[in-house]
Structure 1
């Protein structure tokens, strides 16, 4: 009898799910990950000669700006 390979599965789903390792677009929107992507696009469009900061630099600047410019929030 044929011995199934270790990755083969019996039942309705025989192939393992293939994922890119990256969250889906709605999940990225909810977590705020797309903010950096939009920032980079805008930087490149409006300031093509300026270097684009790394994600870490962006997060540091963003946090510093939020701490120095607090906004009142309802919640």
Structure 2
């Protein structure tokens, strides 16, 4: 059972990283390198996802 849970967890993690989060982070890194390459360091993966989560969920979110 634990082996199955680990494989499902790994599958979900890979799906998330390839389909959503990882691609966004790679685009961010490419943009950062192009625009700010000589200034400091880019956000870590963890900090990037925290900022994206806040950006998505803060503020008014409604259609009308």
Structure 1-normalised TM-score? 0.50
Q: Distance in 1 between matches of 2:52 and 2:40?
A: 18
> RCO greater where, 1 or 2, for CA within 8 Å and sep 6 or more?
2
Across the aligned residues of Structure 1 and Structure 2, the Cα RMSD in angstroms comes to 2.2
By percentage of residues, which structure has more helix? 2
TM-score (norm 2): 0.57
1:63 aligns to 2:59 (yes or no): no
Report the CA distance between 1:71 and its aligned residue. 4.7
Contiguous gaps of at least 5 residues in structure 1? 1-22
Between the two proteins, the alignment pairs up a number of residues equal to 47
Structure 1 or 2, whichever has the larger Rg, is 1
Which of structure 1's runs of 4+ aligned residues deviate more than 4 A? 69-73
